[in-house]
């Protein structure tokens, strides 16, 4: 239905901006103050409305969809509790640099509290823009319908350029329903200016790499976000440089590549941390050098070496937790391409690094990532992950993980190789309940991929209602539940420090398989290690969604682990029980 220009409303300007920016789907939880926009979407466009069962479900599905497509995803909620329920997924998008546009409904401008010293004027009014400002790249309140086209265009531009992230546009009801002027100014299209490539600094880095005897690359999520895996792998392979990865950087180099040392940091492998600690040069790419990568003693991350860092965020470089010898403000893909060109004229100096590579190989031999021998009949959770990994070998796989011990076992025991085998998880914000909604968004974005959701019993119950969305949309998602009747990553921390685990251990859980069946999703129960592998593999091979409820060993700690106050070469394997 084509709308007469004289009858066009603010809602039409909003929807036109979505179409102009290539939006195919919107992830929503409905409410009265976004109803005008939904009406236009439904009646006048081919944009699909995806409606999970709460705002977090919609938000995390949108976040995963954006990660998979590389384009800003649109997330819509109503005013008041709708907006406040959206804070957590928006914070997640902010900390993990995911482009999301959140459109929030708002009471009419005449009902806004403004500077009046009262709590609230309109029903379900809240100061959305101020609440969201600390966890967004930008937050707009539109009070004049004539501003809508420009604000919407700016929101998309800000979200997708530079270090990507979420933008909020708060939309009062009367602005959505106000008539648009017959003549509107054309919407200016902004042009993104990349930071200029600092060639002198890249030349300096090339010299450092050529001379280094013990170099290592620390690949962060920025390598994947920038599409720079090919350039990074070329650098590592030509110059025989081992690679450690942050949690969001997993897959930047294949897990089974000889140069891959896997995850580093507080639950990384011993050999990854030893290499990072004893290197004479760390090339940090698109990473925040977060405490979970460096340990609490940031200045002791690499005490005998230099740290060179490439990042798009000038603030991160200026306020680095780890002292930097060389900081390069640039897009990591462009910087690596220039670096590889400069280094192509130099010898790889493999002989210089032979002792270093031999030492790394010896650490991998001495401290392998293996599952401890089975105790009794209780299933080891790591085994379930390894069996799933092997069962899905050769397939294009997206793993959506929740938050807890299982989140850290996944990069240890599942092989990643971006983009064929990639991981989605809540890295910076660490939000339980990310898992099922993210799997939904990933499957909608990449329907031909195998989507595996690996989740603990605690994280599962944060958004278990989204099983209804899976059933309703007939999404082929495999859900591997690792149930230890505990919030065990916190319980382990409590036991390590205070010898007890109040509130986190010995939790009552329902029969998750029966709950899945109640939603219309087939389910398998794996109560012990006996026959567990066959059940898991068979369930993963079936068509359509399935939930696999594994009861796992409640006394399995996440080890080895780097404790606070310890250097990277001093991880503990001491049980907390």
Strand bridging mode 100-106 / 48-50: unpaired
Q: What is the pTM of this model?
A: 0.95
**Rounded average pLDDT over 468-491:** 97
Q: In the prediction, which pLDDT does 107 show?
A: 92
Res. 82: pLDDT tops 60: yes
Q: In the prediction, which pLDDT does 298 show?
A: 96
Res. 185: pLDDT tops 80: no
The per-residue pLDDT for range 209-246, each reduced to its tens digit, is 999 999 999 999 999 999 999 999 999 999 999 999 99
**Rounded average pLDDT over 489-495:** 96
Q: In the prediction, which pLDDT does 122 show?
A: 79
Beta-bridge mates of residue 171? 105
Question: What letters, b where the CB count within 10 A reaches 16 and e where it falls short, cover 150-180?
Answer: bbbbbbbbbbbbbbbbbbbbbbbbbbbebeb
Res. 2: pLDDT tops 70: no
Alpha helix ranges (H) inside 148-253: 148-160, 173-177, 199-211, 221-225, 229-238
pLDDT band for 372, please (50, 70, 90 cuts): confident
**Rounded average pLDDT over 157-183:** 95
Angle of the 148-160 helix axis to the 10-20 helix axis, nearest 10: 30
The per-residue pLDDT for range 258-269, each reduced to its tens digit, is 999 999 999 999
Res. 112: pLDDT tops 60: yes
Res. 123: pLDDT tops 90: no
Helix, strand, or coil here: 309? strand
The per-residue pLDDT for range 309-341, each reduced to its tens digit, is 999 999 999 999 999 999 999 999 999 999 999
pLDDT band for 110, please (50, 70, 90 cuts): confident
> Smallest Cα–Cα separation from 129: which of 114, 141, 121, 118?
141
Q: In the prediction, which pLDDT does 118 show?
A: 85
pLDDT band for 348, please (50, 70, 90 cuts): confident
Q: In the prediction, which pLDDT does 188 show?
A: 75
Give the span between the Cα atoms of 88 and 410, in whole angstroms.
23
Q: Rounded to 5, what percent of the chain is helix, strand, coil?
A: 40, 15, 40
pLDDT band for 120, please (50, 70, 90 cuts): confident
pLDDT band for 374, please (50, 70, 90 cuts): confident
pLDDT band for 5, please (50, 70, 90 cuts): low
- Residues ≥6 apart with Cβ < 8 Å to 147: none
* Distances 541 to 245, 380, 396, 534 between C-alpha atoms, Å: 30, 21, 14, 11
Res. 349: pLDDT tops 50: yes
On whether the CB atoms of residues 400 and 425 are closer than 8 A, the answer is: yes
**Rounded average pLDDT over 358-368:** 96
Q: In the prediction, which pLDDT does 4 show?
A: 56
Q: In the prediction, which pLDDT does 1 show?
A: 41
Res. 206: pLDDT tops 80: yes
**Rounded average pLDDT over 374-390:** 94
**Rounded average pLDDT over 445-469:** 98
pLDDT band for 20, please (50, 70, 90 cuts): very high
Give the span between the Cα atoms of 568 and 396, in whole angstroms.
34
**Rounded average pLDDT over 444-466:** 98
Q: In the prediction, which pLDDT does 351 show?
A: 80
Average predicted confidence (pLDDT) for the chain: 95
The region of weakest confidence among 244-253, 349-358, 496-505 is: 349-358
């Amino acid at each position: 239905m084509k709308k007469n220009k004289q009858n066009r409303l603010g809602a039409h300007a909003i929807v036109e901006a979505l179409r102009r920016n290539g939006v195919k789907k919107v992830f929503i939880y409905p409410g009265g103050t976004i109803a005008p926009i939904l009406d236009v979407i439904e009646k006048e466009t081919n944009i699909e409305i995806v409606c999970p069962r709460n705002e977090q479900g919609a938000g995390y599905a949108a976040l995963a969809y954006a990660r998979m497509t590389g384009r800003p995803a649109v997330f819509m909620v109503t005013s008041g509790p709708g907006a406040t329920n959206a804070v957590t997924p928006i914070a997640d998008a902010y900390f993990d640099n995911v482009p999301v546009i959140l459109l929030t409904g708002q009471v009419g401008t005449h009902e806004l509290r403004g500077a009046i010293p009262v709590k609230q004027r309109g029903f379900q009014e809240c100061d959305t823009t101020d609440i969201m400002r600390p966890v967004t790249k930008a937050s707009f309140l539109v009070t004049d319908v004539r501003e809508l086209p420009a604000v919407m265009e700016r929101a998309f531009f800000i979200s997708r350029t530079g270090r990507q992230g979420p933008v909020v546009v708060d939309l009062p009801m009367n602005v959505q329903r106000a008539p648009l002027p017959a003549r509107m100014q054309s919407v200016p299209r902004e042009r993104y200016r990349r930071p200029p490539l600092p060639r002198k600094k890249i030349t300096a880095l090339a010299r450092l790499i050529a001379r280094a005897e013990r170099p290592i690359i620390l690949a962060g999520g920025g390598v994947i976000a920038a599409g720079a895996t090919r350039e990074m792998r070329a650098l590592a392979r030509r110059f025989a440089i081992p690679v450690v990865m942050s949690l969001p950087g997993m897959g930047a180099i294949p897990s089974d590549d000889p140069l891959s040392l896997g995850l580093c940091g507080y639950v990384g492998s011993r050999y990854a941390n030893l290499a990072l600690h004893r290197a004479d040069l760390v090339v940090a790419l698109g990473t925040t050098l977060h405490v979970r990568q460096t340990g609490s003693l940031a200045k002791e991350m690499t005490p005998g070496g230099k740290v060179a860092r490439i990042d798009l965020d000038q603030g991160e470089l200026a306020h680095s937790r780890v002292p930097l010898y060389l900081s390069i403000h640039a897009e990591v893909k462009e910087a690596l391409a220039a670096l590889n060109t400069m280094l192509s004229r130099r010898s790889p100096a493999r002989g210089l690094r032979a002792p270093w590579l031999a030492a790394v190989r010896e650490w991998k031999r001495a401290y392998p990532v293996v599952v401890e021998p089975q105790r009794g009949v209780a299933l080891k959770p790591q085994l379930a992950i390894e069996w799933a990994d092997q069962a899905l070998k050769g397939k294009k796989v997206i793993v959506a993980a929740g938050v807890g011990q299982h989140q850290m076992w996944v990069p240890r025991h599942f092989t990643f190789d971006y983009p064929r085998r990639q991981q989605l998880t809540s890295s910076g914000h660490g939000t339980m309940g990310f898992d099922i909604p993210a799997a939904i968004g990933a499957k909608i974005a990449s329907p031909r991929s195998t989507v595996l959701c690996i989740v603990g019993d605690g994280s599962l119950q944060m958004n278990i209602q989204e099983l209804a969305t899976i059933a309703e949309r007939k999404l082929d998602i495999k859900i591997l539940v690792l149930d230890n009747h505990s919030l065990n990553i916190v319980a382990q921390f409590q036991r390590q420090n205070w010898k007890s685990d109040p509130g986190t251990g010995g939790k009552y859980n329902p029969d998750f398989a029966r709950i899945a069946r109640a939603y219309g999703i087939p389910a398998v129960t794996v109560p012990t290690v006996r026959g567990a592998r066959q059940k898991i593999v068979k369930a993963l091979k079936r068509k359509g969604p399935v939930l696999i409820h594994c009861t796992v060993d409640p006394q399995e700690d996440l080890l080895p682990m780097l404790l606070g106050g310890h250097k990277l070469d001093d991880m503990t394997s001491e049980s907390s029980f």
